[in-house]
Chains A and B, each alone.
Chain A
């Protein structure tokens, strides 16, 4: 990981965020909504509307509006919500922290299940575990989150009454109750992740087990466990970092739907509420924060990859 590669990668993430901000700004500009009417209501007098337009800078050229918005963003100001009249930034960051908790729990559950599943499937190819893993992976990639979420809701909350159906309890307030409320969203989100990752671990493991260095380790007389964990697994898990980073994209998309269904007040739900109420600053802030999270996750994955695999010399 040369300093030049690192500098270039940092430059690229800056460019990514710039393009994303342009995209989000352009899309919200094109929205058929008049911010002045949104603020004052349908019955406002033309004079009042004109005054608000001047105050918000709505008469300025578009690029000037973009520049004002961007420089405010760089100062950490996301604007004032049209719906609540409160600053958008702090509300979004609080929502983001809840979404990150959901994401972290889902990733943890995924790693705990997908890696062993992939290993067993690779070791016993064609066996029951392999067939089971392949069914799980097809179901995982073929069921949209809203279907999985609703089916789990029917089964675990409505029929069996094991888990609460909706709502959110902070872990700091009541730890067990908080976890129980997180369980259904986490289960839903991790299914698709388990599907992707177990498949990836399996195919990598199959390749690695046929490699020369694993054969050499076996011929050296090392025990099966030593070969598996010290030689094979380490190399098989490398590409998993990349797929997990790419999956953060699915995760963020899934979070939008899952938070909406389970009434979890995270960043995805903020986005849906903002879209429904045409709250422009809130749409911009939530979309931008989600995209930035994804970009940063990919960046971290690249760095981790370069750091862990010394054979890679990014130039």
Chain B
């Protein structure tokens, strides 16, 4: 594990991504402690205050401090994006493994159905599901998980099938290793790596998808300090107070960039062929 971390830190993407995400996690854990003021505190005299002075990143239409709202907003976005991705990955991994295990006609039927479901664009599927379940953060999380499951099923299945046929697995069998050794020491590390990489990059998608659903009014509900919702509320004031859009936009982009960089870094660090 420490070996992977060392290799991860040696890649520029991995080091940068890890640094961004470490700050983000710290902000999530400390939350209101690092926020200068209460994110819900309304201050009518401070309405539309530009960045600077008392309000580092400006104040919104109700005079609420943008910096505090953005910092506290991380606590909504990050757990939901992580939970949605994990749920989608787990269910996808189960479907993919079962499909690979059954094989033959069943495998064919399951995979063709998954291909068909993937013909529905992710945002469209999430939009339809959350619309049926009702708006709200939890339902948005479930919708993102459902939208992710088919893609993850496909990744897990193809990885599981390829790994099973690798020479090093045949070699282990020929050496007379026990099945426990083969599954845990030979197959699992090689199955986990691509799934972990895919999952990490998916978190970035989940962050963006959740923000988009909130922007469309289907995710987090007011007065929650959620980044997508904040941009949606600020749309009416984009001429007089563009900082209301720039701040949360940068927060979303930084979070997504963090996970994308970490995913790329992990791809380099976990790639068993690349031992430089």
- A197 close to chain B: CB less than 8 A: no
Q: How distant is A247 from chain B, measured CB to nearest CB, in Å? A: 11
Q: How distant is A276 from chain B, measured CB to nearest CB, in Å? A: 9
Q: How distant is B111 from chain A, measured CB to nearest CB, in Å? A: 11
Q: Which of A127-143 contact B (CB under 8 A)?
A: 138-139, 141-143
Contact status B112-A27, CB under 8 Å: no
Residues of the B chain whose Cβ atoms lie less than 8 Å from the Cβ of A138? 257, 260-261
- A30 close to chain B: CB less than 8 A: yes
A295 to B119 Cα, complex, angstroms: 5
- B74 close to chain A: CB less than 8 A: no
Contact status B212-A249, CB under 8 Å: no
A232 to B122 Cα, complex, angstroms: 34
Q: Which of A246-287 contact B (CB under 8 A)?
A: 249-250, 252-254, 256-257, 260, 271-272, 275, 283, 287
Q: How distant is A176 from chain B, measured CB to nearest CB, in Å? A: 25
- Complex interface bits, A228-257 against B, C-beta within 8 A gives 1, otherwise 0: 000000000000000000000110111011
Residues of the B chain whose Cβ atoms lie less than 8 Å from the Cβ of A298? 119
Tell me if A's interface is mostly helix, strand, loop or mixed: helix
Given B127, B208, B242, B261, which contacts A154 in the complex, CB threshold below 8 Å? B242
Contact status B212-A145, CB under 8 Å: yes
Contact status B238-A252, CB under 8 Å: no
- B131 close to chain A: CB less than 8 A: yes
Q: How distant is A164 from chain B, measured CB to nearest CB, in Å? A: 15
A290 to B128 Cα, complex, angstroms: 13
Given A12, A30, A250, which contacts B121 in the complex, CB threshold below 8 Å? A250
Residues of the B chain whose Cβ atoms lie less than 8 Å from the Cβ of A154? 238, 242, 245-246
Contact status A143-B252, CB under 8 Å: yes
Q: When A and B form their complex, what is the total count of cross-chain residue pairs whose Cβ atoms lie within 8 Å?
A: 131
Contact status A158-B238, CB under 8 Å: yes
Contact status B249-A150, CB under 8 Å: yes
Q: How distant is B230 from chain A, measured CB to nearest CB, in Å? A: 11
Given B122, B134, B215, which contacts A257 in the complex, CB threshold below 8 Å? B215
Contact status A30-B132, CB under 8 Å: yes
Q: Which of A9-31 contact B (CB under 8 A)?
A: 12, 15-20, 23-24, 27-28, 30-31
- Closest Cβ neighbor of B109 among chain A residues: A15
Q: Which of A87-120 contact B (CB under 8 A)?
A: none
Residues of the B chain whose Cβ atoms lie less than 8 Å from the Cβ of A275? 127, 131
- A78 close to chain B: CB less than 8 A: no
Contact status B231-A23, CB under 8 Å: no
- B141 close to chain A: CB less than 8 A: no
Q: How distant is B151 from chain A, measured CB to nearest CB, in Å? A: 10
Total chain A interface residues with beta-carbon distance under 8 A: 47
- B116 close to chain A: CB less than 8 A: yes
- A209 close to chain B: CB less than 8 A: no
How many B residues are at the interface, by size bracket? 35 or more
Residues of the B chain whose Cβ atoms lie less than 8 Å from the Cβ of A143? 208, 249, 252-253, 256
Contact status A290-B212, CB under 8 Å: no
- Closest Cβ neighbor of B239 among chain A residues: A158
- Given A27-B129, A31-B131, A257-B215, A291–B124 Cβ distance below 8 Å? yes
Contact status B128-A253, CB under 8 Å: no
A153 to B129 Cα, complex, angstroms: 30
- B235 close to chain A: CB less than 8 A: yes
Identify which of A20, A32, A150, A287 gathers the most chain B CB atoms within 10 Å of its CB. Answer: A150
- B158 close to chain A: CB less than 8 A: no
- Given A16-B116, A252-B121, A290-B121, A153–B231 Cβ distance below 8 Å? no
- A300 close to chain B: CB less than 8 A: no
Given A151, A252, A254, A260, which contacts B249 in the complex, CB threshold below 8 Å? A151
Residues of the A chain whose Cβ atoms lie less than 8 Å from the Cβ of B118? 249
Contact status A19-B238, CB under 8 Å: no
- Given A20-B120, A138-B260, A249-B121, A144–B208 Cβ distance below 8 Å? yes
- Given A138-B257, A272-B216, A287-B120, A150–B131 Cβ distance below 8 Å? no
Q: Could you give 23 example pairs across A and B, Cβ below 8 Å? A: A16-B115, A16-B119, A19-B116, A20-B116, A20-B117, A23-B120, A27-B128, A30-B132, A32-B134, A138-B261, A139-B253, A139-B257, A141-B256, A142-B253, A144-B256, A146-B211, A146-B212, A147-B245, A147-B249, A257-B123, A275-B131, A291-B121, A298-B119
Residues in B lying within 8 Å of A, measured CB to CB: 112-113, 115-124, 127-129, 131-132, 134, 204, 208-209, 211-212, 215-216, 228, 231-232, 235, 238-239, 242, 245-246, 249, 252-254, 256-257, 260-261
Given A146-B228, A290-B120; 16 other pairs, CB 8 A cutoff: A19-B119, A20-B117, A23-B120, A24-B128, A138-B257, A141-B204, A142-B253, A143-B256, A146-B232, A150-B235, A154-B238, A257-B215, A271-B124, A272-B216, A283-B128, A295-B119
